[in-house]
Amino acid sequence: MTNKRTPIRKAYSMLNLSKEFAANTSMHGLKFIAQDEASLPERILWIALFLVGLLFAVIFSWNLWQNWQESPVLITIQTANYPIKEYPFPTVTICSVNKVSTRALGHWMSTDEAKNFKLDEIRRILEIMSTNRVENEEEVARLSQLLLQANISSSNEGYENLMNRLSPNCSEMVIYCSWEGKEEDCAHLFDSEATDDGFCCSFNSIVIRRDANSMTNKRLRHARTSGVYAGLSVLLNAEIEDYNVTSSSISGFKVSIQDPKDFARTGRIGFLASPGFQIDAAVNGQTQIGNDQLRTIDLKKRLCTTTQEITLQYFDDYTGPYCQLDCLTTHFLANCFCVPYYYPVPARLPVCNLLSYPCLEKANELVVQNSSLCDCPDECTTVWYRNEISSGTFPNSVWEYPNSVLNRPEFQHLSTNYLDAYAKYLNLFQNRSLFLLKLLTHQTQKEFRQIKRLPQV
């Protein structure tokens, strides 16, 4: 642009002004168009060139504008060395694939409550309750009649109590625990928690079963440093001989690692852990802070939600997994007027009896097929725990059982020699009652990211 101040006189024509502008502007080409000595073809050539240049400028600017319109979000990594102690250790949820223990069922069959049932009938009921898969509605009607006669009803927690009595409990599954290298009492570390795979055992969770809105005021554990010795290590007893009704065709456990305040979707996203292995789960936490200006961007473009933007019907705090649980709950209530007995929803909601299971199965299928039904964005400000799993055979020939394991009542009738021999000559023994799994969970580095609105171009 011109920076020479020219006194504006009345007589000064528009033409002269334009000429002056063309001669002094930094836009290339204009100078040659306006030159007095330029010939007509010369001028036409320069005008054409100028227009082509202008066209390209517009095209490139338009592309930039479009880009900004489509993804107006900027994600920056602040540090890959965020202090681990700032964030809680993740919740580790362990679900046995065995939902009914042969021992517990045998014991239950000898009680008064069981006098109406034949063994195959009660096993079928328990199978439906643990897998939610129904074959035909007449069978369900017949079985639900039996439950009613035995005074086991879905209201007043009848289903929950039955399942609790028959499923392997946490103290039988988790037989040795250590935290930061020191042995601790597993009963204090693991609680029974409601998950999408029924009741499971979880470490460092603040959610209690059946009523997600009443959190325990337990203090969450924080790891002090990273590495194998600074995390959780547990020994699990799969007790394959005790399998009676299972939710999956494998032997062992499903394990999920997630944010302590989230609903454990172990059935859906858990990894498999089989006996005879040591599984090492290295957890990498990622913290993301979303800034408030994100709210001004359309939700479809930023793909994450800010606080208090979406309110859930049955839960106070929004998280992606709770939103999905909320959506499923709403869906089940609308179609079947009840929710499965193990859902951690407010206690006032009706619990499904066996007759509603065909309906639950259909409603669930519908949600699986139509992803837009329960579409839940994650929060912009959130913590993720990603895990890297590695494994090796366990135990090796020199491993020694901890004393607390040797002294457990279920192993007392086995001699120390037997256990030692089991460890040392693993392949010689076909007795599968003592298949162990060692699960190590520890944190690695934490990444800290920021997500914010891009400045307008």
Site of interaction with ligand NAG (CB under 6 A): 102, 104-106, 109, 119, 151, 156, 169, 171-172, 244, 370, 372-373, 431, 433
Nearer to ligand NAG, 119 or 347 (CB): 119
Cα 154 to its chain centre, rounded Å, is: 29
SS3 content of the chain, % helix, strand, coil (to 5): 40, 25, 35
CA–CA dist 47, 15 (Å, integer): 17
Shortest approach of ligand NAG to residue 223 CB, angstroms? 27
Do residues 312 and 318 touch, judged by C-beta distance below 8 A?
A: yes
- Tell me how far, at minimum, the Cβ of 448 lies from ligand NAG, in Å: 37
User: Minimal distance in Å, beta carbon 107 to ligand NAG?
Assistant: 8
Q: Which of 104/380 has CB closer to ligand NAG?
A: 104
Query: Which is closer to ligand NAG, CB of 85 or CB of 115?
Result: 115
Q: Which sign, positive or negative, has the C-alpha torsion 148, 151, 155, 158?
A: negative
Q: Which is nearer to ligand NAG, 146 or 297 (CB)?
A: 146
Smallest distance from the beta carbon of 164 to ligand NAG, in angstroms?
8
Residue with tokens 């490139």: 60
Residue with smaller CB distance to ligand NAG, 169 or 444 = 169
**CB nearer ligand NAG, residue 9 or residue 188:** 188
Choice between 261 and 432, CB closer to ligand NAG: 432
Task: State the nearest-atom distance from the C-beta of 187 to ligand NAG, in Å.
Answer: 7
Say if residue 254 is exposed, middle or buried (CB neighbours under 10 Å; 0-12, 13-18, 19+).
buried
| Shortest distance in whole angstroms from residue 220 CB to ligand NAG | 22
The residue at minimum Cβ distance from ligand NAG is 106
Tell me the closest approach of the beta carbon of residue 54 to ligand NAG, in angstroms.
Answer: 46
- The minimum distance between CB 370 and ligand NAG, in angstroms, equals 4
Return phi, psi of residue 319, to 5°: -145, 160
194 vs 209: CA distance, rounded Å: 5
Q: What is the DSSP letter of 337?
A: S
The answer, yes or no, to whether the previous bond of 395 is cis (omega within 30 of 0) is yes
Nearer to ligand NAG, 167 or 306 (CB): 167
Tokens of 349: 């909601």
User: Strand, helix or coil at 137?
Assistant: helix
> DSSP character for 365?
H
**How many angstroms separate the CA atoms of 151 and 144, rounded?**
11
| Residue 396 to residues 176, 281, 412, 422, Cα–Cα distance (Å) | 17, 19, 22, 10
State which amino acid sits at residue 98: N
